C-alpha cells in the first residue's frame, strides 16, 4: 500500500535524503497525505537506529514532535510513516532559494518557541528523558501553519532518571555538537540544552 501511495517511490515524490534513507510524500487510499521514510538497512547500526526511533517516539504525543503513524519491516527495507509537514524542513524554509519563505520576526519567534517547547518536553515532560543528539535545521519539520516538529530520532537516547550522565559514542552532525560532548563522549543533564542548541 505504501509503495503504491508513493508512486512506487517516484523521485518526483521525494521530500528529502538522509544518511540512512529517503523520505517520500505519499497519499493513502483514504486521501490522507503522509511522509514515508524509506530505510535500506545493510548494517546492524542502521537496524538499531530504526528500532531506536520507533521505540522512542511511538508513545510521544506533543505538538512539536513529529507523530509516528506506523511502520513496516519487510526484508532489508523498513518504512516509517509520519504526519506530513507541507513546508518540509526549517533549513529549506530559511535557506533554499526555491522554497524559502520570508518569515516575520513574530513567525521566527514562534518557531524558536515551538522547538524549545519540544525540547523541554523531551527533557522533562515525557515519561523518560530523551536526548535527540542531532537537532539541526534539516531535522526540524515545518507544517502549513509554521509549527515546528522535531524529527529523525535515530540517534536519540533515553536518559534514566537515576543516572547523572550517559556515556555514549559521539553522534550527530559536526558543527552542532557541544565541545564537552565531542571531547569526552559524556552527556550530563546540565549539558542537554547546550548539546541540543550548539550553533
pLDDT in tens, 152-187: 887 777 766 655 545 455 455 555 555 666 666 665
Rounded to an integer, what distance in angstroms lies between the CA atom of residue 158 and that of residue 4?
A: 35
- pTM of the model as a whole: 0.76
Q: Which helix (H) or strand (E) holds 111?
A: helix 105-120
pLDDT at 40 over 50: yes
Predicted confidence at residue 39, as pLDDT, reads 81
In the chain, % helix, strand, coil (3-state, to 5) comes to 35, 25, 40
Q: What is the pLDDT of residue 25?
A: 96
Where is mean pLDDT largest: 32-46, 83-97, 164-178, 181-195?
83-97
Please check whether residue 187 is in contact with residue 131, taking contact to mean a CB–CB distance below 8 angstroms. Answer: yes
User: What nine digits make up the cell of 138?
Assistant: 534539516
pLDDT of residue 195 exceeding 50, the answer is no
How far, in whole angstroms, is CA 4 from its chain's centroid? 24
Q: What pLDDT shows up at residue 169?
A: 52
**Comparing 144 with 17, which gets the higher pLDDT?**
144
Residue 20 neighbours by CB under 8 Å, 6+ apart: 39, 40, 41, 46, 49, 50, 154
The C-alpha cell that represents 23 in the structure block: 523520505
Compute the mean pLDDT over every residue in the chain, rounded to the nearest whole number. 79
134 in catalytic set:
yes
Confidence of residue 198 (pLDDT cuts 50, 70, 90): very low
Q: Which residue has the cell 515532560?
A: 125
Catalytic hit among 30, 83, 134, 143 = 134
Task: Give percent of the chain above pLDDT 90.
Answer: 33
Bigger pLDDT: 25 vs 41: 25
**What confidence score (pLDDT) does residue 193 get?**
46
Given a cut of 80, whether residue 150 has pLDDT beyond it is yes
Judge whether 37 is annotated as a binding position: yes
Question: Among 26-30, 40-44, 123-127, 129-133, which is the least confidently predicted range?
Answer: 40-44
Exposure string (b/e) for 111-140, b if CB count within 10 Å is 16 or more? beebbebbbebbbeebeebbbbbbbbebbb
Judge contact between 21 and 37, C-beta under 8 A: yes
Per residue in 90-142, pLDDT (tens digit) is 988 888 887 677 889 999 999 999 999 998 898 887 777 887 778 888 889 99
Amino acid at each position: 500500500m505504501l509503495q503504491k501511495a508513493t508512486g512506487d517511490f517516484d523521485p518526483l515524490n521525494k521530500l528529502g535524503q538522509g544518511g540512512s534513507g529517503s523520505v517520500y510524500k505519499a497519499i493513502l487510499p483514504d486521501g490522507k497525505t503522509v511522509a514515508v521514510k524509506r530505510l535500506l538497512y545493510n548494517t546492524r547500526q542502521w537496524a538499531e537506529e530504526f528500532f531506536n526511533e520507533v521505540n522512542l517516539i511511538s508513545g510521544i504525543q506533543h505538538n512539536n514532535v513529529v507523530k509516528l503513524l506506523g511502520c513496516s519491516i519487510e526484508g532489508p527495507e523498513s518504512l516509517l510513516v509520519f504526519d506530513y509537514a507541507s513546508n518540509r524542513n526549517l533549513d529549506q524554509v530559511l535557506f533554499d532559494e526555491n522554497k524559502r519563505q520570508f518569515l516575520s520576526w513574530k513567525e521566527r519567534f514562534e518557531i524558536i518557541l515551538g522547538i524549545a517547547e519540544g525540547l523541554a518536553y523531551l527533557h522533562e515532560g515525557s515519561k523518560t528523558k530523551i536526548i535527540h543528539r542531532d537537532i539541526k535545521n534539516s531535522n526540524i519539520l515545518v507544517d502549513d501553519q509554521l509549527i515546528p516538529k522535531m524529527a529523525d530520532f535515530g540517534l536519540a537516547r533515553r536518559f534514566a532518571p537515576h543516572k547523572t550522565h550517559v556515556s555514549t559514542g559521539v553522534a550527530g552532525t559536526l558543527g552542532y555538537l557541544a565541545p564537552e560532548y565531542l571531547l569526552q563522549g559524556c552527556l550530563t543533564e546540565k549539558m542537554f540544552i547546550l548539546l541540543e542548541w550548539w550553533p
